[in-house]
Structures are given as C-alpha cells and as structure tokens.
Structure 1
Amino acid sequence: MSLLFEEIDSQVSSIGQISLRRRRMPAFGDRDIYEVKLGDEFLMSSMFVDAEEALSTLGLAAVQGDNLSVVVGGLGLGYTAVTALKDERIAEMFVVDALDTVIGWHKDEKVPLGKILNADARNHYVLGSFFDLATDSSTGFDPDCAGKKFDAILLDIDHSPTEFLTIANASFYTTENLSLMADQIKPQGVFAMWSQNLPEADFEALLKTVFERVESHVVSFFNPFQNTVSTNSVYVCVKA
C-alpha cells in the first residue's frame, strides 16, 4: 500500500459499502487526510470540517443554562461531537449513528478523534436510527432513560433537507415529525442542522411551523481542490 494512500476499513452496511481511507497530498503538507465513502460517493473529508464544527458552536451558543444534555445526530469523523465537548456546560452527550461500523472506527480509534471521544466520560455512543428515535419520544435518545428531554439536538446526517443519504430519511422533514422530535427538547432548547447547500426558504418556512425562532447561518471555507471559497449552512432553531 502506498504511503500516500491507505484504505483502513471497508464493510457492507445497511445503506451500502462504506469505507474509511487515509491519504496524504504533498501539496497540502505533512498531514493525514481522512475520508469516508459510501460506494463511489464521498461522504466526508477531514479537509472540510468548518461547518461541522460550526454546527456545534452556533447551535450551543443559542442554548441557555448549564448542566446541558445534548444529542448529536450523525457521528461521521467526530468533528461535531468533539467541538460540542469543548463547551464546558455539557454534562452528557449522546452521539447517535445507525452504522455500527462508524461507531467502531471511533471506539477502536481508527480515526484521530476517537481517542478524544473515548476519553471523555460525558460522551455516549448510541447505535440506532436518529430518525426513528427522534420520532418516538417513548423511547428517545438515551437508552437508559426513556422519554428524557434534551437542551440541544445537533443534526448532520443528510446532505441537505432536500437531498437525503437514503430516501427513507425524507419523511422526517415534515411538521409532524419535526414536532415529534421537538417534543424531546426542553423549553427554550435548540435544534440545529447542517446542510451542504445555502439556506432554503421552503425549509426555513417548515421549521417555523415548529420552532419559535429560526436563524440560518452561511459558513464559508476555502476549498483548495477548487481554489475557491465554498459554503455550507447551519440552521439554528429555538423552541418556545
């Protein structure tokens, strides 16, 4: 295997073949770049994490109080979760992922941020479908405490509210199902969501049917592959 490229793991999952790769690109200096692919599609890269980190910083900045209980939907390479744990107000964090393969990469520390998450007693991995747990408040996100309510839910799973990782996720983006998720958020609590696209007016209008306040943030970052500035979005919603 070339020193510039290594496939660390590749497994069949419920949504297709998922693989973890590490590469080095001399033009970008002495650094390892971690990538996750689903089939032939690139899902994420450690080259582009600004918006994943902003999901935590922007979402938690809107939360009031201390001793916070937080849910992160989608583990990925761990950047949203690790950034959330930098907020000292967090007492516990539940990171939900439907793929045991992805959780295993972190538990086995095959990705760099796994060591940070494993060392922090506030972090709890939850194997399950975020969307199923979000719409079933009788179960909820804490396996040991059914019906628990949370101060914040931070979501980064689908590409956008109109482009889905799997088509089954599409049914989540309705007033009914967003309301079921919001039932698991405390009063004045926050729901925040990442999107690869610029803010979408129709989705903002949908969020306003459930939440008292909705703000959209554009996160800009330099893309060295295209030698230009790219953008993602973070929606931040506050419950009444």
Structure 2
Amino acid sequence: MSLLFEEIDSQPSPLGEISLRRRRIPALGDRDIYEVKLGEEFLMSSMFVEAEEALSTLGLAAVKGDNLKVVVGGLGLGYTAVAALKDERISELLVVEALDTVIGWHRDELVPLGKILNADPRNRYVHGSFFDLATAPEAGFDPNSAGKKFDAILLDIDHSPTEYLNESNAGFYTTENLARMAEQLKPQGVFAMWSQNLPEERFEALLRTVFETVASHVVSFYNPFLNGESTNSVYVCVKGATIERKK
C-alpha cells in the first residue's frame, strides 16, 4: 500500500464491483480524500461536496415548520445526510440506500461521517431501492410505518435527470411516478434533487406537472484540477394541494 493511496474495501454489488478508497494529493494539502468507484466509474469524492451539502440546505430552507421528518435518497459519503442533521428542526431522518455495502461503511465508520451519523439518534438507515419505495406510496419509505408522510425528500442518486446510475432508474422521471413520490409528502412538502449538470428546461417543465413551484439553483465550487470553478445544480420543488393520482 502506498502512503498516498489505500483501497479500504471492495465488494460485489448488483450494479458491479463497488470500492472505497482513500488517497492523499500533496498539492492539495494535509487531508485524506475518500472516493467511491463502481467498476471503473467514479461515483463520488470527498473533494467536492458543496453541492451535496447545498441539496440539504437549499431543500430544507424551503420547508416550513418544526418537528420535520425527512428522507435522503442515496447515502454516498454521508455529506447530504450530515448537512441535513445540522437543521435542528429535524426530528427524524431516513437515509435510503440500495447498496448494503455503503451502509456498512458508515455503520463500521470506515468513512469519516459514519461516526456523526451513527451518534445522532434522529438518523436511521433504510436498505432498499429509493425508486421502488418512492413509487409505492401505500407502503412508503419507512418500513416501520406504512404510508408515512414526510416534510422533505432529498434525492442524490443519478448523475442528472437524463444520466442514470442504472438505466432502470429512467422510469422514475415521469409525471406519474413523480406524483407517486409526491403523495408521500405533506402539503407544502419539498422535493429537492441534485444534478451534476446545469438546470435542464425539459426537466423543470416535467417537475411543474407535479409541483406547485419549481426553482433551480446553480452551485459553484472551486475545482483544483481545472484551476477554476465547476458547477452542479439543485432543483427545489414545493408541493401544493394534495395530489390525487388516477387509480
């Protein structure tokens, strides 16, 4: 093992081999950088977390009230979930993750934010497909409480609304399935979603078929590899009156 690189874990998954790595880049200072790869594809890095954190801060800023119950879709390296828990209004956070290996990294504290999440009694991991749970409102996200309603759903799984971690996810991005998910939100509840791309007008139009208001935010952050700025996006949608889905 190089002092500058370590593969912490590698496990098979339904999507392919998933691995957790830690590296040092001397030019970037004295810090560990954690990375997750799926096969040969980089899924996430602790080097760039501003937009993942903004998903929580922007999404929750649009939520009114206290005693909030929130769902995070996609655990990743934990940055969205930890940012959400900084909001003292949250009483319950469900983090839905399809890959048990990723949950295990956090439970075993192989990643830095696992310790924070494990120590917070408001946090609970749910092993399951976000997309399956989102489109089954009668059962819903909470395995202990069928049909529970939430104040916010924060989603960071696919690369963008048109670039999918798994092609089977594409079916979620329709009026029908977004409406199924919205049934699990309380009135005036918020759905927010991260994207690696700039806002896409066609997706904004799709969101407006379900949600009363839709706002898109561009999140800029410094990218040392480019010696300049990179951008991601966060969509924030607010539910209006109760949506009645056709049976």
What is the TM-score with the length of structure 1 in the denominator? 1.00
Residues in 1 aligned to 2:112 and 2:125: alpha-carbon distance in whole angstroms:
16
**Letter aligned with residue 59 of structure 2:** G
Q: Deviations over 1:36-92 (max 9, x none)?
A: 001111000000000000000000000000000000000000000000000000000
Matched ranges for 1:9-158 at <5 A? 9-158=9-158
| Shift, 1:226, TM fit | 1.4
| Shift, 1:14, TM fit | 0.6
What is the TM-score with the length of structure 2 in the denominator? 0.97
Matched ranges for 1:141-220 at <5 A? 141-220=141-220
Which 5+ residue runs of structure 1 have no aligned equivalent? none
Residues in 1 aligned to 2:204 and 2:3: alpha-carbon distance in whole angstroms:
45
> The residue matched to 1:194 in structure 2 has which SS?
strand
| Shift, 1:139, TM fit | 1.2
**Letter aligned with residue 218 of structure 1:** V
> The residue matched to 2:92 in structure 1 has which SS?
strand
Moved over 4 A (4+): none
Q: Deviations over 1:16-49 (max 9, x none)?
A: 1100000001101110000000111100000000
Residues in 2 aligned to 1:191 and 1:14: alpha-carbon distance in whole angstroms:
27
Which 5+ residue runs of structure 2 have no aligned equivalent? 241-247
**Letter aligned with residue 215 of structure 1:** A
| Shift, 1:214, TM fit | 0.1
| Shift, 1:168, TM fit | 0.2
**Letter aligned with residue 26 of structure 1:** P
**Letter aligned with residue 173 of structure 2:** Y
> The residue matched to 1:234 in structure 2 has which SS?
strand
Residues in 2 aligned to 1:145 and 1:3: alpha-carbon distance in whole angstroms:
47
User: How many aligned positions are there?
Assistant: 240
Cα RMSD over matched residues? 0.3
**Letter aligned with residue 161 of structure 1:** P
> The residue matched to 2:171 in structure 1 has which SS?
helix
| Shift, 1:131, TM fit | 0.1
| Shift, 1:225, TM fit | 1.0
Q: What is the identity percentage for the equivalent residue pairs of Structure 1 and Structure 2?
A: 81
Q: Deviations over 1:118-162 (max 9, x none)?
A: 000000000000000000011111110000000000000000000
Q: Which piece of structure 1 moves more, 169-178 or 219-228? A: 219-228
Residues in 1 aligned to 2:120 and 2:140: alpha-carbon distance in whole angstroms:
22
Residues in 1 aligned to 2:204 and 2:16: alpha-carbon distance in whole angstroms:
31
**Letter aligned with residue 210 of structure 1:** V
The answer for the alignment partner of 2:244 in structure 1 is none
Q: Deviations over 1:179-213 (max 9, x none)?
A: 00000000001000000000000000000000000
Residues in 2 aligned to 1:129 and 1:115: alpha-carbon distance in whole angstroms:
24
